[in-house]
Structure 1
Amino acid sequence: MLNACIRTVVVTGIILALAGCATTVPVEQPDLPAADQWNAPPMESAQAPDQQWWQAFGSEQLNGLIEQAFAGSPDLAATAERVFQAEQQVRVAGSSLFPSLNLNASTGERATDDGGSESRSESTSANLNVSYELDLWGRLAASRDESEAGYRATVFEYDSARLSLASSVATTWFRLMALEEQLRVARENLAIAERTEDIVDARYRNGAASRAELLRQQTEVLNQRASLEPVALEYRQTRSALAVLVGVSPLDFEADAGTQSLMDLTLPAVDAGLPSDLLTRRPDLASAEAQLQAADANLARARAAWLPSVSLGLNAGASTANLASLANPVETLGWTITLAQSLFDGGERDAQTAISESRRRALVEDYRGAILSALQETDDALDRLQTSERREALQQTVSERAGRTLELTDLRYRAGSDELLTLLDAQRTLFQTREQLVQLRLTRLQATVDLYRAVGGGWSQTKEDE
């Protein structure tokens, strides 16, 4: 007994000494840009976005559509299931850090016939086995850490998918409202052209206008009617795309902005913050960082695979020569310490370690690239937003003057002071300026959504996420 205890102490000492050889790999972070501000100048009266940033546009219909998308989107639901799977994987990996307990019980009867001599035997046994692998090198803990980091990455991916879905619904809704506005403007333009046709027809019947002038105006009316068809088609297709985004069938989906027009929407001023803020305000960057942490743990696990595994075992059992009874049993009790080390594997562990190191280096570069892309997206969105704001202000003035020009030209044509071509030119100019004004408002709204998405949409990484 004394010799056995001495042997146990020696083996344990050797194991603990080998544990001191395990090394910890420092976490390598990519080089981050150190810019203090964006290229675009800061916006006046700008406010930082909150998690329900879409409410800043002042559209109840948009608020309802985004909530409907969160509840009904198949893609978002599938992402949520992947989060659940990753959470369960953490439980699986964490279970290896605890002992396993197994109970086996059996009872039976056996009959043999040896040359006419028949014998019968009965037996009953029960065994309890406890096994536990000592995590001296941190391999099992690294596996758990890898699963936890993977779980955090999927949570951040879900947040990123949620932000992307809200952005897509908002831009599609704004596009639908812009098409409604285009249809309204086109119908107003058609009404103006038809009224002008009536005037030209009256002048023609009175001999004040030529047949060619009447045909020109009739052609203009037909062109205006034809221009309605592609806009109406795009409107129907955009409405179907919006239905798919919110998770309903496009066959019976209705989306109506009611009395609110595109020009009535609020245009919020978004504070983009500092470039360094993006690292904590964008879920996709948090996901990339979590993936890098998972790669760190994977590399630690691959390196720990080079070291021997140590397991403890405990077995207790009882058996009798009775059927379904443990009366007067024969009891057994034993324990084991198992030391296992692979001596030759044909280079498998070396290759696995090299793969883990390469994957980690690739993730470092992916993380760095994601940061650079985030900086570009934010700065570009700021630039587009400010440029579209200035262009819309100028276009508003142009549209107002084009409308006044058409009024004066119409009066002069009625009085016989201007030709029809001058009136037609004034009409086309007004039509174009109105359409351009709608497009610029749409561009400005879309740029605002892009900026919300670029800065994370009010998302922030909390301590619970870290």
Structure 2
Amino acid sequence: MTKLPFIAIPLIVMLTGCISLAPQNSDVAIAPVPEYLSQSSDKTAVNISNLGWRHYFNDPQLVNLIDMALANNSDLRLAALKTLESYKQYGVAQSDRYPLVTGQSSVDYAGQNHTETSKKYSIGATVSFEFDLFGRLKNLSESQLEAYFATEEAQRNVYMLLVSQVAQAYFNEQIVLQKLATADRQMANYQQALTFTQAGLASGESSYLDYQQAKGMLESIKVSRVELQQEQQLAHHTLQNLVNRYDFTVKPVDALQVITLTIPPNLPSSALLTRPDIMQAEHQLKASNADIGVARAAFFPSISLTGSLSNSSTELSDLLSGATLWDFVPKISLPIFNAGQNQLNLEIANIRQQQAGVEYEKTLHAAFKEVADLLVLAQSYGQQLTLQQQYLATQQTALTLSQEGYLSGSASYLDILDAQRNVFSTELTLLTLKQNTLANQVSLFVALGGGWQE
């Protein structure tokens, strides 16, 4: 048996003792956010991050649309492919930490003029390996692994945003459909008013002014209805684009409901740390730490080992029975002069780490602001809905009183038209507030980590 030179033994032992020159923790200063997002005293709050979207959205039509979007949406498929690509890149980086084995075979023909004088067959194998004494390959692999994790979080973010976008587009179209139904009812009232005043004009009970005002109200509601039809078509196009299908219609539903989120008491801002955008920024910061380790390792010697075995013979039948030649080449490379390239690379790596730290801080503060704003809006919309419903009740009472006054002669028909217009306007405002409330609840659900689980 052929014995390897004794130097191979300590080299192989050194393989398992590599060190990492990457910083253990980032030294980037991150400006803190306030400790709490909410000071709610409600004890019945649920853990939003564990609340699946199938439970949160209890509308079967909406759930079906979200299922279709998750199966067909181009952005989500692209995010999944990017994640897969990043995982394969990590595999490439990881493979550099293992020995490279290559095999080769050849036939060497020699001759003079047109006559073959000799023929030689060769076969062999080569093994090459870099001893990662200072963690260069380890940190390259670690950097790519963190990049993969960051891409995975980006995919999760696309998933959650898609769920929220489909829900909001669906609610938008449903609200417009309700506005159209309200406009149709009001248009029927105006048409009845026009018929009534037209008959009154013939009998002398109504003036020409009453007739023109009734006619103007009807024309006005027709314009509003055309605008709402346009809005409904645009909303449906948005939903089609998200679902990436065009063979469905949205059926109007009487009640649009989602679970009203009850914010946990003294909700800590640390709850934001599981958001995919923050997790993505954190992994990118960790990757920049590993890149510093790669840049530091360039200042130290690189030790590699190449070994080969080969057989050769003039006869193919004797190729494996002949003498075996071996070659063993330990190699040490030490940087001596490269015009400051290694130092510049290290400084670049440190700058990029600082950039990643700033991005993390920026993402963290943006997330805090987003949730804080959504909490303020949630409270405001709740108050506005209550007040608007009370205002609608007063307008409906005013309409009833104007109708009674007209019958008793104490009010004109113009008073009825004005009251009807006020009721219609208030109903549209109430529907818009409901639309904003639904959008706010969906955004808050996703902003606090919901929507990833089904």
Moved more, 315-324 or 154-163: 315-324
CA spacing shift, 1:227–1:19, aligned 2, 3 Å = closer
Look up the match of 1:383: 376
CA spacing shift, 1:414–1:150, aligned 2, 3 Å = same
Alpha-carbon distance in structure 1 between the residues aligned to 2:289 and 2:102: 33
Q: How far did 1:147 drift?
A: 1.1
Alpha-carbon distance in structure 2 between the residues aligned to 1:72 and 1:269: 29
Q: Deviation per CA, 1:389-440: give whole Å up to 9, x if none.
A: 1110111111122112112212222333212332222111101110011011
Does residue 320 in structure 1 map to residue 313 in structure 2? Answer: yes
Look up the match of 2:124: 127
CA spacing shift, 1:227–1:427, aligned 2, 3 Å = same
Alpha-carbon distance in structure 2 between the residues aligned to 1:321 and 1:409: 116
Q: How does 1:48-67 map to 2 (within 5 A)?
A: 48-49=47-48, 50-53=50-53, 55-67=55-67
Q: How does 1:162-201 map to 2 (within 5 A)?
A: 162-201=159-198
Alpha-carbon distance in structure 2 between the residues aligned to 1:104 and 1:9: 24
CA spacing shift, 1:398–1:436, aligned 2, 3 Å = same
TM-score (norm 2): 0.91
Q: Deviation per CA, 1:229-266: give whole Å up to 9, x if none.
A: 011011011101101101114xx442223xx23x4424
Moved more, 42-51 or 104-113: 42-51
User: RCO higher in 1 or 2 (8 Å CA, sep ≥ 6)?
Assistant: 2
CA spacing shift, 1:42–1:352, aligned 2, 3 Å = farther
Q: How far did 1:46 drift?
A: 3.2
Pairwise CA RMSD: 2.6
Q: How far did 1:167 drift?
A: 0.8
CA spacing shift, 1:85–1:205, aligned 2, 3 Å = same
Alpha-carbon distance in structure 2 between the residues aligned to 1:24 and 1:150: 16
Look up the match of 2:98: 98
Alpha-carbon distance in structure 1 between the residues aligned to 2:309 and 2:9: 25
Alpha-carbon distance in structure 2 between the residues aligned to 1:131 and 1:365: 41
CA spacing shift, 1:232–1:42, aligned 2, 3 Å = farther
Look up the match of 1:271: 263
Q: How far did 1:123 drift?
A: 0.3
Aligned to 1:433, which of 426, 431, 434? 426
Look up the match of 2:107: 107
Q: How far did 1:75 drift?
A: 0.7
Moved more, 294-303 or 334-343: 334-343
Alpha-carbon distance in structure 1 between the residues aligned to 2:8 and 2:153: 47
Q: How does 1:256-405 map to 2 (within 5 A)?
A: 256-257=251-252, 260-261=253-254, 263-271=255-263, 273-280=267-274, 282-323=275-316, 325-326=318-319, 329-405=322-398
Look up the match of 1:463: none
Q: How far did 1:122 drift?
A: 0.8
* Unmatched segments (≥5 aa) in structure 1: 461-466
Aligned to 1:239, which of 236, 240, 243? 236
Alpha-carbon distance in structure 2 between the residues aligned to 1:42 and 1:130: 67
Letter in 2 for 1:103: G
Look up the match of 2:250: 255
TM-score (norm 1): 0.89
Does residue 25 in structure 1 map to residue 23 in structure 2? Answer: yes
Report SS of the residue matched to 2:30.
coil
Report SS of the residue matched to 1:284.
helix
Q: How far did 1:279 drift?
A: 0.7
Letter in 2 for 1:48: N
Report SS of the residue matched to 1:90.
helix
Alpha-carbon distance in structure 1 between the residues aligned to 2:443 and 2:124: 65
CA spacing shift, 1:156–1:268, aligned 2, 3 Å = same
Look up the match of 1:453: 446
Report SS of the residue matched to 2:425.
helix
Q: How far did 1:103 drift?
A: 0.9
Report SS of the residue matched to 2:419.
helix
8 Å Cα contact 1:40-1:383 kept in structure 2: no
CA spacing shift, 1:158–1:51, aligned 2, 3 Å = farther
Q: Deviation per CA, 1:295-327: give whole Å up to 9, x if none.
A: 111111111122121011221111112256516
Q: How far did 1:32 drift?
A: 5.2
CA spacing shift, 1:327–1:363, aligned 2, 3 Å = closer
Alpha-carbon distance in structure 1 between the residues aligned to 2:417 and 2:145: 69
Alpha-carbon distance in structure 1 between the residues aligned to 2:21 and 2:93: 22
Look up the match of 1:47: 46
Alpha-carbon distance in structure 1 between the residues aligned to 2:72 and 2:439: 23
8 Å Cα contact 1:72-1:247 kept in structure 2: yes
